[in-house]
């Protein structure tokens, strides 16, 4: 997987995504739990938990959350957020390919394109097999991913995002490179943080993501002993994906 979300980028991550509707996405997760789980999940694994932006709202709703993320910087921020809110959730620095817990989980979430960061097919299957290994039989897993047909239809474009928080102006640019043969998009990020007219932080990161197609993802999930129960536009459980749906959700059960 890519070496991304270093210390500087991680420090500004929550500010950059302050406009993302995490509560609505957690509503979607709960809706999927209610519709497709045979029993209400209690112990939930959050793979690629980042700073805890899905984990924390779900913990507040009564779920027992454990999160993992490869980025130590993101996990440290998640720990601070959890401690500040006096929640009992736990987060760990772990790799999706080889993490392991002593007891199994009732459900798993893997949000915000985490699977798309796995570029090699062998590693993608290995990650799904490892997630499956840590889940109970008939457990639900929810992933949201970049949808290949939409990526090819819409095409990525260069963007600039400017946000302010705590007297600091954060400017992030992204210049994309699309490789249709390898099914990947390389996003070249440049971030600067300015306070009182002075640049106080700067970071460059390259995020390479592999966009996925429904038939291949269904196949890989099947290899890992999952059954797909729903493909939909994210975060709308009853809306089928289209060529205008950059993000789709996949709901699958362990078999």
What is the H or E stretch that residue 80 is in?
helix 72-84
Q: Give me the pLDDT at residue 21, please.
A: 98
pLDDT band at 37 (very low <50, low <70, confident <90, very high): very high
The predicted-structure confidence for 84-124, as pLDDT tens digits, reads as follows 999 999 999 999 999 999 999 999 999 999 999 999 999 99
Q: What angle do CA 95, 100, 104 make, to 5 degrees?
A: 130
Residues of the chain with CATH 3.40.50.150: 7-146+212-254
pLDDT band at 246 (very low <50, low <70, confident <90, very high): very high
Average pLDDT, the chain: 97
Give how far Cα 141 sits from Cα of 70, 126, 210, 240, Å: 19, 16, 20, 18
The predicted-structure confidence for 210-225, as pLDDT tens digits, reads as follows 999 999 999 999 999 9
- Where b means 16+ CB within 10 Å and e means fewer, 44-69 reads bbbbbbbbbbbbbbbbeeebebbbbb
The predicted-structure confidence for 141-185, as pLDDT tens digits, reads as follows 999 999 999 999 999 999 999 999 999 999 999 999 999 999 999
The predicted-structure confidence for 10-27, as pLDDT tens digits, reads as follows 999 999 999 999 999 999
Residue partners of 19: CB distance under 8 A and separation at least 6? none
Distance CA 188, CA 175 (A): 5
pLDDT band at 255 (very low <50, low <70, confident <90, very high): very high
Q: Is the pTM of this model over 0.75?
A: yes
Residue 139, pLDDT above cutoff 90: yes
Residues of the chain with CATH 2.20.25.110: 151-209
Architecture per CATH, 7-146+212-254: 3-Layer(aba) Sandwich (3.40)
Q: Give me the pLDDT at residue 65, please.
A: 98
Q: Give me the pLDDT at residue 193, please.
A: 98
Q: Which fold has domain 151-209?
A: N-terminal domain of TfIIb (2.20.25)
Distance CA 223, CA 171 (A): 42
């Amino acid at each position: 997987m890519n070496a991304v979300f270093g210390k500087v980028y991680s420090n500004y991550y929550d500010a950059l995504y302050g406009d993302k509707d995490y509560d609505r996405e957690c509503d979607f997760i709960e809706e999927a739990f209610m519709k497709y789980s045979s029993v209400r999940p209690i112990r939930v694994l959050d793979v690629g938990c980042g700073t805890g932006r899905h984990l924390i709202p779900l913990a507040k709703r009564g779920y027992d959350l454990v999160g993992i993320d490869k980025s130590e910087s993101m996990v440290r921020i998640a720990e601070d957020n959890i401690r500040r809110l006096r929640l009992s959730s736990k987060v760990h620095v772990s790799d999706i390919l080889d993490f392991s817990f002593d007891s199994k989980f009732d459900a798993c979430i893997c949000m915000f394109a985490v699977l798309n960061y796995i570029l090699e097919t062998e590693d993608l299957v290995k990650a799904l097999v490892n997630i499956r290994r840590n889940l109970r039989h008939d457990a639900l897993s929810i992933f949201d991913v970049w949808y290949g047909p939409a990526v090819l239809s819409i095409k990525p474009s260069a963007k600039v995002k400017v946000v302010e928080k705590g007297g600091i102006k954060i400017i992030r640019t992204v210049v994309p490179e699309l490789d249709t043969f390898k099914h990947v998009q390389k996003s070249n990020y440049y971030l600067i943080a300015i306070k009182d007219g002075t640049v106080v932080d700067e970071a460059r990161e390259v995020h390479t993501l592999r966009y996925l197609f429904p038939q291949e993802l269904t196949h890989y999930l099947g290899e890992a002993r999952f059954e797909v129960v729903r493909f939909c536009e994210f975060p709308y459980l009853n809306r089928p994906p289209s060529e205008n749906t950059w993000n789709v959700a996949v709901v699958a059960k362990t078999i």
